[in-house]
Amino acid sequence: MSETIGQRPWMTAPETVAVFDALEAAGGADCARFVGGCVRNTLVGRPVDDLDIATTLSPERVTTALKAAGLKAVPTGVEHGTVTAVCGGKPFEITTLRRDVATDGRRAVVAFTTDWAEDARRRDFTLNALYARRDGSLLDPTGHGVADARAGRIIFVGEAEQRVREDYLRILRFFRFFAWFGSGPADAAALAACETLRGELRTLSAERVSKELLKLLAAPDPRGAVALMARTGVLGEVMPGPVDLDRFNGVVAIEEDQLFEADSVLRLAALLPDDQVGALKFAERLRLPNAERDRIAAALAQTPAFKSWMSPREIRRALYRLGAQAFRDRAKLAWARAGRTATTPQWRGMIALGEGWSAPAFPLTGEDVIAAGVPKGPLVGQVLRELEDWWIDHDFIDDKLSAVEKLKAVAQGMAY
Q: Among residues 112, 151, 133, 115, which one has the least CA distance to residue 53?
A: 133
| pTM of the predicted structure, to 2 decimals | 0.89
Whether the link from the prior residue into 345 is cis, omega within 30° of 0, is no
Q: Among residues 202, 337, 315, which one has the least CA distance to residue 269?
A: 337
Q: Among residues 47, 58, 56, 7, which one has the least CA distance to residue 29?
A: 56
**291: pLDDT strictly greater than 80:** yes
Burial zone of 181 (CB within 10 Å; 0-12 exposed, 13-18 middle, 19+ buried):
buried
Spatial CB neighbours of 238, under 8 Å, sequence gap ≥ 6? 172, 201, 209, 213, 229
At 199-218, the pLDDT tens digits run 999 999 999 999 999 999 99
Whether the Cβ atoms of residue 292 and residue 284 lie closer than 8 Å to each other: no
Report CA-CA distances (Å) from 176 to 335, 355, 405: 26, 31, 60
Reported as a pLDDT band with limits 50, 70 and 90, residue 415 is low
**340: pLDDT strictly greater than 70:** no
**373: pLDDT strictly greater than 90:** no
Q: How large is the average pLDDT for residues 318-323?
A: 91
Q: How large is the average pLDDT for residues 154-170?
A: 96
* d(C-alpha 64, C-alpha 58), whole Å: 10
* Longest Cα–Cα distance in the chain: 93
* d(C-alpha 215, C-alpha 102), whole Å: 28
Q: How large is the average pLDDT for residues 338-365?
A: 85
In the chain, pLDDT over 70 holds for what percent of residues? Answer: 98
CATH fourth-level superfamily of 1-151: Beta Polymerase, domain 2 (3.30.460.10)
Q: Among residues 62, 73, 66, 130, which one has the least CA distance to residue 96?
A: 62
DSSP H stretches of helix in 197-343: 206-217, 223-232, 234-238, 245-258, 264-271, 276-285, 290-299, 312-322, 324-338
The full set of domain ranges for the chain reads: 1-151, 299-356, 366-412
Could you tell me the sign of the dihedral formed by the alpha carbons of 220, 226, 227, 228, in that order?
positive
* d(C-alpha 370, C-alpha 368), whole Å: 6
- Given this model, what pLDDT does residue 355 score? 87
- Given this model, what pLDDT does residue 270 score? 97
* d(C-alpha 383, C-alpha 375), whole Å: 11
Q: How large is the average pLDDT for residues 105-131?
A: 91
